[in-house]
Amino acid sequence: MFCDVCKSKEATVFLTQIIEGKMQKVNLCEGCSKEKGVNDPTGFALADLLLGLGAAQEIEKNPAGIRCPVCGFSQADFKKTGRLGCSACYDTFAEGLSGMLKNMHRGLVHTGKVPARLAVSRVRNQELSKLREELDRAVTAEQFEEAAGLRDRIRTLENEGREAEPAPNRVAELAEGEAEPLVPKPRQKP
Amino acid sequence: MKLSRIIANTGEWLSGSGPHDQIVVSSRVRLARNLKGKPFPGWAKKAERVAVLDEIRSAVEGLPEMENSFSERLEDLSPLEKQVLMERHLISREHAARGAGSAVVMNPEQTLSFMINEEDHLRMQAIRAGLQLEEVYAMINRTDSELEETLDFAFHDELGYLTACPTNVGTGMRASAMMHLPGLVMSEQVNKIINSVNKIGLAVRGLHGEGTEAMGNLFQVSNQTTLGETEEEIIARLNRVIAQILEHEQNARQILLQQRAETLLDQIGRAYGILCHAHSITSKEALNLLSFIKMGVDLSLFPSKSRLQVDELFIETQPAHLQKGLHAAKMGAEERDSLRAALIRAKLKQMPEPEIGKIPTNGFGNDSPATGENP
Ligand SMILES: [Zn+2]
Ligand SMILES: [Zn+2]
């Protein structure tokens, strides 16, 4: 059996991973397993390895030619490296990424630790996006009285947010006020 | 603190003790963090990487627990020094390969280490001996909370901590235990056990044939998913799996002792014989034989005070460790093999000769069975 990475040497390291009943297998030669850091206790992830073996194609669900407005990263770059360019890339490539994240993880929403300074605003933002959805529904259903009430609550929350935290904490808003150019400018890999 | 001091001292995770440390060598938890609004290291320009390095490095060095820490830029370390740190798993292969704009910071006990500008801006890990993932997570979590007071980490309302690779997004946490499983390897059950317990997302280095490819019968068990569960849930899930493997290993050893005691003693005796008299030995052969000696210590065939010496040999016989302190040019493989054999002979000579003649009466009785949830 040949190594899945170099496809030339005999595979001696066999990796199996089962997530939610779905089995993934990778066979590697000694050299490639070292190179991929298989023995590294904290650095190694099989899904990571799979990214390099074709799983990164998935991001193509986004319209072709799209570039991250903050860092200039493209789909082609992701396909090559299996890594993203900056934190705003998560919003830029959100559509393609969500399918990939679903296959890799046990959920699509983070439920763990939140930085202390963001804890309050995060709850507020989640409440806001829920209210905005409700508002959309109310407007579509022509329930204008309810819509007006929702709009008031949204405004109140938005004002609270502005007072409590002048700096936006959403990555989508990173482009504002950052030193990075807003006009997409392709970067060269260092 | 100088690197030579770090290198000269065994890490606390190796010399210290912890629950079930006969079978669970060490517990580690790593957190990946990035600074908000800055491109990830793999995509950043050199000047951007250097700026991130300066900001994070001074924050890390300013932590109270990092007093007297060792801190060095990767470009200022020799290839041999990098490899020594790699063999101790204090830096990754990927990090070692990076040049300008990367650094490593660690405390003198080597229980906390920080890789700056590896794949992510910051990867910090805590490590302790034995099975104590909760305690290790508490350690690194405290450090993370201290750092977030000065560093603005990239955090997404839905996706959590953002990382260069989508496999780490969410908690950014990888928790792992290194397990010594000679019983499962000898009884040829290890593949079966691994396949039956890895219903949770975890990867284990597999085996080829009858265990000849397993380096020292050491296995890593780690979580592979980082999004959708809390850190505590991930660790609890991992602990349940580790407890199962631990129990299987204890049972396998017990059965070997009851049904194949002669084979067991033969293997340990032969390992001791070869290691005492070999004049050339590869790293792989050394690790596999040392694994039997380690099991011999667990069986009380060797005095318990030999445990640290044996454990240290697992690290000391690695290629870069062999050459540390020798300012000679890089050694060839043959030269290393004879140096390795000499080192092992010398170390074993310091240990009292084992009495590998009778089956120990108390067996592997020292390690009580794992309870699962709260080991
Ligand atoms: Zn290969
Ligand atoms: Zn980007």
For A114-131, what is each residue's pLDDT tens digit? 998 887 777 788 888 888
Q: Is the ipTM beyond the 0.95 threshold?
A: no
Listed in sequence order, the residues at least 6 apart from B109 whose beta carbon sits closer than 8 Å to its beta carbon are: B11, B12
How many whole angstroms from its chain centre is CA B124?
A: 14
Residue in this structure with the two tokens 């067991």, named with its chain if needed: B264
Which pLDDT value is given to residue B136?
Answer: 97
B252-268 pLDDT per residue, tens: 999 998 899 888 999 99
Check residue B23 and give its pLDDT: 94
Give the separation between CA B113 and CA B115, rounded to whole angstroms.
7
Q: Do B165 and A187 touch (CB under 8 A)?
A: no
pLDDT at position B277 over 90: yes
Q: Which amino acid is at A68?
A: C
CA angle, residues B219, B338, A35, in degrees to nearest 5 = 40
* pLDDT tens profile B202-226: 545 433 322 334 578 888 788 878 9
Question: pLDDT-derived band of residue A110, with 50, 70 and 90 as boundaries?
Answer: very high
With a CB-CB cutoff of 8 Å, which residues 195-224 of chain B face chain A?
Answer: 195, 198-199, 201-208, 213, 215, 220, 222, 224
- Enumerate the residues of chain A whose CB falls inside 8 A of the CB of residue B199: 18, 21
Assess whether pLDDT exceeds 50 at residue A167.
no
Angle at which helices B231-259 and B190-197 pack, to 10 degrees? 150
From residue A154, how far is each of A120, A125, B59 by CA, in Å?
A: 16, 10, 38
Phi, psi of B123 (to 5 degrees): -125, 120
Mean confidence (pLDDT) of chain B: 86
B231 CB neighbours in chain A (<8 A) are 112-113
Residue of B nearest to A17 (CA): B203
pLDDT of residue B363 exceeding 80: no
